[in-house]
């Protein structure tokens, strides 16, 4: 075997470090775009993969930190303003507050309590102890208002800026396969509505989706997924019947009739709706006995919980979380932005 | 000679310790019972209203919560409550878990009644987390004065003192900072998670009126008045608990304000009503109260 001696400038000597360098560059590139969170047998699991499902939950946690920083920064700033003012006047903070707040708060007179009761006659019926309670309320309110006004005057003289950026609103990857939908299959806007039939709030949010579909004809696909308290027997029964209606090709007729009940859902109302739509009850009963519908409902709830939903109604607009409790105009703005 | 003196001194020190240590540790109190018989006094916070699902969620209660087969199957949160910690640390034999807490209960009208129910169960460990509905009234005239609040607290505490078995522990947890809970609800709105005012304005206010904090028409000063009452009531709880603990040789009384000081984060407050702790919030309540409580040395 010949042992060929390699010089310092030979190619074979330099190939491994060059390859390593290129790999490192790739890794740096990946890290910049995506963070490696874990590895399995040496292969990476990236943040983007985790965020496919849990982006919204991560967003909530990051937002909590941001909000905590905002409040703490304000507290520190207020503390510094008070200290600076106290030192400028050669006082302690305590004395400064005594002079500016305690001493400047007008003392409470019995007439103030009389005036309050005159403008709130409903309080008089609460018994003789009400005067003491109102006295405490009025005295405390005056003192606190004086302090708030004083702090405000100090803030106005300063230049406070909170610089930390709020986390960006995330977008989750929506799983809509096999779920009931209406509208246009390849529409640019997909609205995934997590709702149930026994909530007036869900009825309202369904109405908002209906308006979007009316305002953007041919551009929206509406997907329904169940989300509710599995311990609510009427909501569960209604959802199971919904799954049966889907199986029999009548989901949206059923959906709309149920939403027309404005959240007043009872087992009798569900049965009446099923009868009106001529749903095959025997098929429903056997599917229910097998737990077929329950399983699909549970899948929806489990998926919803995994992507961060705690309560319905929630609408994901192309993967962006939108609570169905917010005004229609806000949802419309998101839809318009998505269409652009 | 030196050695003799050393032994003599050691003996003296030992004697002093034997005499002084039990006095210092137990202040001459009856031997503390293990907390196997738990009874919780409180309101919707202890009932875990809206923690995970609408209405009462007893499995998610910081005090009485449990995590059995059904909770596991339905994927509900395991809050690792005091009840669970007690079983883990003290074993399951002789265990009892009673919830006297009722949504809407307050110190002014319900505390005394709940203490009477509690003593009927002969608990060795009583938790008290109450006062939120005293601070939370429809109007400011509904908030009791300090004297009224204290009188009712003393009356209930006397019931416990007079009827609980010797060696029982009473753990009083300071009222949660409801001003901060409301701030968190503001965060929820700002983040687009849920419009809390819509929830409060619809049906939920009927379930737990808290006009003195949640009414959208209140000024900042008015909300801070409510907070000042929250602080005043906690000061009463602390002072009275200390007094009872010093005077009663048969029972152990412990107070913590750790929950008042705890800053709940947005996800720790319910999305269902924007006010009560969510299941993660209840889990934190359990952790914070346990590590500041009378059995904190039991760390399982």
State whether A302 and B195 contact (CB < 8 Å): no
B198 within domain boundaries: yes
B148 within domain boundaries: yes
| pLDDT computed for residue B10 by the predictor | 62
State whether B225 and A57 contact (CB < 8 Å): no
State whether A310 and B270 contact (CB < 8 Å): yes
State whether A310 and B278 contact (CB < 8 Å): yes
B156 within domain boundaries: yes
DSSP collapsed to 3 states, chain A: CCCCCCCCCCHHHHHHHHHHHHHHHHHHHHHHHCCEEEEECCEEEEHHHHHHHHHHHHHHHHHHHHHHHHHHHHHHHHHHHHHHHHHHCCCCHHHHHHHHHHCCCCCCCHHHHHHHHHHCHHHHHHCCCHHHHHHHHHHHHHHHHHHHHHHHHHHHCCCCCCCCCCCCCCCCCCCCCCCCEEECCCCCEEEEEEECCCCHHHHHHHHHHHHHHHHCCCCEEEEEEECCCCCCHHHHHHHHHHHHHHHCCCHHHHHHHHHCCCCCCCHHHHHHHHHHCCCCHHHHHHHHHHCHHHHHHHHHHHHHHHCCCCCCCEEEECCEEEECCCCHHHHHHHHHHHHC
Q: The domain that contains B120 carries what CATH number?
A: 3.40.50.1110
Q: Which two tokens stand for residue A113?
A: 């309590």
B221 vs A: CB within 8 A: yes
CATH number of the A181-339 domain: 3.40.30.10
Instruction: Check pLDDT > 50 for residue A5.
Output: no
| pLDDT computed for residue A11 by the predictor | 47
Which of the residues in chain B have pLDDT under 50? 16-26
Which helix (H) or strand (E) element contains residue B227?
Answer: helix B220-247
B97 within domain boundaries: yes
B134 within domain boundaries: yes
B201 vs A: CB within 8 A: no
State whether B75 and A302 contact (CB < 8 Å): yes
Alpha-carbon span B31 to A23, nearest angstrom: 68
CB atoms within 10 A of CB A66: 18
Instruction: Check pLDDT > 90 for residue A79.
Output: yes
B138 within domain boundaries: yes
B22 within domain boundaries: no
**Region A61-87: what's the mean pLDDT?**
94
A89 vs B: CB within 8 A: no
B-contacting residues of A 169-208, CB under 8 Å?
Answer: 169, 200-201
Question: What residues make up the domain containing B113?
Answer: 36-291
Query: Which residue on chain B is closest to A113 by alpha carbon?
Result: B141
Instruction: Check pLDDT > 60 for residue A16.
Output: no
Residue B197 neighbours by CB under 8 Å, 6+ apart: B189, B216
CA within 13 Å, CB half, B184: 26
B265 vs A: CB within 8 A: yes
State whether A64 and B267 contact (CB < 8 Å): yes
Q: Which residues of B touch A144 (CB under 8 A)?
A: 221, 224-225, 228
Q: Which two tokens stand for residue A321?
A: 């979380």
| pLDDT computed for residue B54 by the predictor | 76
Whether the predicted model's global pTM rises above the 0.90 cut: no
Each residue's pLDDT tens digit, A254-272 = 999 999 999 899 999 999 9
Q: How many domains does chain B have?
A: 1
Query: ipTM value of the model?
Result: 0.80
B77 vs A: CB within 8 A: no
B108 within domain boundaries: yes
**Where exactly does CATH 3.40.30.10 map onto chain A?**
181-339
| Distance in Å, alpha carbon of B265 to nearest chain A alpha carbon | 6
Query: Which residue on chain A is closest to B226 by alpha carbon?
Result: A137
| pLDDT computed for residue B148 by the predictor | 96
């Amino acid at each position: 075997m010949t042992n060929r001696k390699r010089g310092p400038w030979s190619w074979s000597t330099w190939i491994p470090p060059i390859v390593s360098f290129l790999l490192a560059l790739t890794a740096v590139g990946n890290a910049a775009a995506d963070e490696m969170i874990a590895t399995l047998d040496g292969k990476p699991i990236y943040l983007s993969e985790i965020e496919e499902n849990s982006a919204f939950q991560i967003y909530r946690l990051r937002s909590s930190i941001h909000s905590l920083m905002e409040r703490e920064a304000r507290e520190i700033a207020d503390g510094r303003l008070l200290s600076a003012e106290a030192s400028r006047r050669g006082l302690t903070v305590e004395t400064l507050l005594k002079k500016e707040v305690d001493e400047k708060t007008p003392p409470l007179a019995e007439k103030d309590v009389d005036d309050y009761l005159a403008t709130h006659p409903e309080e008089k019926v609460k018994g003789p102890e009400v005067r003491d309670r109102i006295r405490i309320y009025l005295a405390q309110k005056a003192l606190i208002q004086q302090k708030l006004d004083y702090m405000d005057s100090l803030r106005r003289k300063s230049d406070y800026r909170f610089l930390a950026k709020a986390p960006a609103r995330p977008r989750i990857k929506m799983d809509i396969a096999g779920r009931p939908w209406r509208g246009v299959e390849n529409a640019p806007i997909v609205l995934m509505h997590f709702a149930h039939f026994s909530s007036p709030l869900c009825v309202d949010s369904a109405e908002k989706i209906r308006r979007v579909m009316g305002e953007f004809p041919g551009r929206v696909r509406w997907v329904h997924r169940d989300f509710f308290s599995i311990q609510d027997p009427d909501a569960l029964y209604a959802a199971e019947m919904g799954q049966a209606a889907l199986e029999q090709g009548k989901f949206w007729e059923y959906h709309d009739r149920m939403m027309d009940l404005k959240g007043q859902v009872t087992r009798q109302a569900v049965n009446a709706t099923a009868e009106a739509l001529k749903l095959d009850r025997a098929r429903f009963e056997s599917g229910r006995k097998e737990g077929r519908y329950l399983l699909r409902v549970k899948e929806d709830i489990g998926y919803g919980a995994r992507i961060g939903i705690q309560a319905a109604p929630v609408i994901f607009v192309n993967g962006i979380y939108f609570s169905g409790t917010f005004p229609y105009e806000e949802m419309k703005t998101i839809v318009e932005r998505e269409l652009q | 000679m030196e050695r003799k003196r050393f032994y003599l001194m050691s003996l003296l020190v030992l004697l002093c310790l034997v005499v002084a240590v039990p006095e210092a540790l137990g202040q001459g109190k009856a031997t503390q019972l293990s907390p196997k018989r738990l009874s919780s006094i409180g309101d919707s916070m202890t009932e875990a209203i809206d923690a995970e699902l609408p209405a009462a969620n007893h499995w998610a209660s910081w005090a009485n919560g449990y995590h059995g087969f059904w909770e596991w199957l339905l994927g509900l949160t395991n809050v690792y409550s005091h009840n669970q910690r007690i079983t883990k640390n003290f074993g399951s034999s002789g265990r009892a878990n009673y919830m006297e807490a009722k949504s809407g209960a307050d110190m002014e009208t319900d505390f005394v009644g709940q203490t009477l129910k509690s003593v009927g169960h002969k608990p060795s460990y009583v938790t008290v987390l109450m006062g939120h509905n005293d601070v939370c009234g429809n109007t400011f005239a509904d908030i009791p004065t300090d004297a009224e609040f204290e009188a009712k607290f003393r009356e209930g505490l006397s019931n416990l003192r007079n009827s609980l078995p010797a060696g029982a522990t009473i753990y009083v947890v300071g009222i949660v900072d409801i001003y901060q809970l409301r701030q968190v609800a503001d965060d929820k709105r700002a983040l687009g998670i849920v419009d809390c005012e819509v929830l409060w304005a619809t049906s939920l206010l009927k379930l737990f009126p808290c006009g003195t904090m949640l009414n959208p028409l209140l000024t900042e000063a008015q909300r801070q008045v409510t907070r000042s009452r929250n602080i005043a009531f906690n000061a009463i709880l602390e002072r009275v608990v200390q007094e009872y603990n010093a005077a009663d040789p048969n029972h152990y009384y412990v107070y913590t304000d750790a929950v008042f000081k705890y800053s709940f984060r947005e996800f720790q407050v319910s999305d269902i009503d924007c006010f009560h702790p969510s299941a993660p919030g209840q889990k934190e309540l359990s952790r914070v109260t346990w590590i500041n409580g009378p059995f904190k040395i039991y760390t399982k």
